[in-house]
Amino acid sequence: MPNPPPPPSSPATVEVDHVSVVYPAKEHTVTALADISLSIREGEFVSLIGPSGCGKTTLLRVIADLEQVSAGTVRVNGLPAREARLARAYGYVFQAPALFPWRTVLGNVCLPLEIHGLDKARARAVAMDHLARVGLQGFEGKYPWQLSGGMQQRVSIARALGFEPKLLMMDEPFGALDEITRDRLNEQLLRLWEKERRTVVFVTHSIPEAVFLSSRIVVMSPRPGRIVEVIESGLPSDRTLDIRDTPEFTAIAHRVRVALQEGHGGH
């Protein structure tokens, strides 16, 4: 059964309104984002895809208040981006796991909870629960260097689940992993999303990854960074990796590829 598009009345988790990000430079200013507007509804899985330099990571960082806008407004859960960050509205997964080598797996997942002010015992219980959700029970006592790259990134996802944010932001989290590991983690991530329906904003430059994971794919293009096309996926939410061989999947992937080429235009 195809995913029914959420009703338009569903509240916007992320509201990006005419946002520009301009880096002033001596010779010529760099426009990382040019007048971008995007609304992400609650429970959506939105992928930002495009070639390097298209501003997909900048857009994610703007939503996370890691980057300041030059013009326009960003609202997360109805709050300005900065206040949303201070209210700990989202979890963020970086390109690299960024685990602290002096903490165990459990200690790393506990980190945001400790900062949030939970007492040690409570933090441990919550962290153990998060670890179980990414399939890492039994590894809580290990140190990061004892884990494979894929496991480390799962720990960082468990850590981002920290204080149960409604919004999960992921910046090419599986970019550094081999394809087999990436496929497995994609499927796990999809199951997690299917179960919990957390809003996810996911940056990638892999077309199959974007099509497989997303309910909506935002295709971006560089110089200046802008949105070329937004593609609704409509694939069933209980899809498995096998769906990649179906004509429906191929059709959506084709649309994404065409949009990417159009974005490149005369280049």
What are the structure tokens assigned to 173, written together? 């989290």
Of the residues 26, 102, 265, 267, which one makes contact with another protein according to CB under 8 A: 102
The SS3 assignment for 104 reads: coil
Distance of closest approach, residue 139 Cβ to another protein, in angstroms = 15
Torsion of CA 161, 166, 169, 173, to 10 degrees: 40
Q: 70 to 99, contacts with another protein by CB under 8 A? A: 85-88, 90-92, 94-96, 98
199-204 sheet: strands from edge to edge: 90-93, 167-171, 199-204, 45-49, 216-221, 226-232
> Per rule CB under 8 A, is residue 114 in the interface with another protein?
yes
Distance of closest approach, residue 110 Cβ to another protein, in angstroms = 10
> Per rule CB under 8 A, is residue 174 in the interface with another protein?
no
Size of the site for another protein (CB under 8 A): 26
> Per rule CB under 8 A, is residue 120 in the interface with another protein?
no
Of the residues 25, 26, 145, 245, which one makes contact with another protein according to CB under 8 A: 145
Helix (H) or strand (E) holding 61: helix 56-63
How many alpha carbons fall within 13 Å on the CB side of residue 265? 9
Q: Which is nearer to another protein, 35 or 83 (CB)?
A: 83
Tell me how far apart the alpha carbons of residues 191 and 213 are, in angstroms, rounded to a whole number.
10
Of the residues 20, 47, 104, 204, which one makes contact with another protein according to CB under 8 A: 104
Distance of closest approach, residue 85 Cβ to another protein, in angstroms = 6
